[in-house]
Chain A
């Protein structure tokens, strides 16, 4: 006998979350309300993602957790350990070996395949929230496809900065219907949302919402004809592995303000280094 129920949550709660996941898959991009439960970790630690993972994991899964691309942060390690203990799952840091990947703020660089599930931790699921604080109103706006204000906000960016300054949580339109917040991933990751073989599930604990993207769902980043969407990143190769196609973090490496750019996806970077790729800052 284990100390906890399988995957921590009781069966009734998992059934409720599972029903919400199925509705989310049937209505891509639509935020399904669910009754979020207290989890033995603070909200900032992705309790929405944790509850979704708890509802989908089986003991046969291999589980990976990334926090801003890294497997070794406190947050990632505790969530991984939590499910190792409560669900008996195997764990990995290798993207291609994982069957379920819980993530905060990144999509892995390596292309995901069929049979994989990507679970996002979402702080604010409502893309219209900063335009309209009232839930009753944003719900109405989604039902009427009233997304004009969203475009106005992006266009204000252009008139102020000459380009769309929004670089995280960049809004997308799903199957030509719902505008969706992809969670605070960099907009560099946005093109991966639509051309994805894996199932994508989004869980917001505090705001009690679950939404989903089935594989190969049409996902378009909002933009304008004269200012098309651009999946930008820092214009450098990775200092450690030399990759030119990955999303980079900027690190301060000494007191003199020396800087270095490295892959935010640590598994991707380490695999490249093991394969012999070397960046200019590698020892």
Chain B
């Protein structure tokens, strides 16, 4: 076992996870807002934000799927030690962790049932940036919000499943944003103009 497996968790789990949860909750309640999240120092390729989200939400009751590069010895050992979460395939997971290309296609994850739409996976997506981008509308957003998304079609298809579907947390460094299944996404007007100009 490597030394950094044992380190990098919350030094004061009760209060640090309380603060981290508030960041996650604000992000989920106000899609498009970018929140700071601190306290975790996980081994690469997990980002500090990714680590903090996992420490806050995962334990022995939450099966986790590690996709692509994230499925490595360092990440497995750190998560197993700090959360005890069992590792599973995408079809059984409650949380999936990875970069977008490794996580897709989305059809492999549980989307809940019509009587229990909450029995669905949350995808935690490591991103190279969090910024303005696509236009978001829906619950939690006053008029409209904006967020950089890895693509549009997958999220538009996910929205059509509502109230079933997947929820997304995007992490980058020590920041995060979220996109619940309830949100409509479309190309931002500036992108649409750029596209029109290019064609």
User: Interface of A with B (CB < 8 Å)?
Assistant: 5-7, 11-12, 14-16, 18-28, 30, 32-33, 55-60, 114, 139-140, 142-144, 175, 177-178, 197, 199, 212-218
Q: Is the CB of A22 within 8 A of B167?
A: yes
Alpha-carbon separation in the docked complex, A19 to B167 (Å): 12
Q: Is the CB of A178 within 8 A of B25?
A: no
Contact with A along B118-151 (1 / 0, CB 8 A): 1010100000000000000011111000000000
Q: Which residue in A15, A22, A216 is a CB contact (below 8 Å) of B122?
A: A22
Least Cβ–Cβ distance between B49 and chain A, in angstroms? 16
Q: Is the CB of A28 within 8 A of B61?
A: no
> Count the B residues whose beta carbon is within 8 Å of the partner chain — how many?
38
> Chain B: which residue is nearest A57 at the CB level?
B18
Nearest 10 Cβ contacts at the A-B interface: A214-B140, A6-B14, A26-B180, A143-B114, A23-B118, A217-B139, A58-B18, A214-B139, A214-B29, A26-B167
Alpha-carbon separation in the docked complex, A26 to B22 (Å): 15
Q: Is the CB of B180 within 8 A of A25?
A: yes
- Is B86 located at the chain interface by the 8 A CB criterion? no
With A58-B22, A215-B29 known to touch, is A15 a contact of B59 (CB < 8 Å)?
A: yes
- Is B38 located at the chain interface by the 8 A CB criterion? no
Which residues does chain B contribute within 8 Å of A23, judged by CB atoms?
Answer: 118, 120, 167
Which residues does chain B contribute within 8 Å of A16, judged by CB atoms?
Answer: 61
- Is B28 located at the chain interface by the 8 A CB criterion? yes
Q: Which residue in B30, B61, B163 is a CB contact (below 8 Å) of A30?
A: B163
Q: Is the CB of A25 within 8 A of B29?
A: yes
With A26-B167, A214-B30 known to touch, is A11 a contact of B17 (CB < 8 Å)?
A: yes
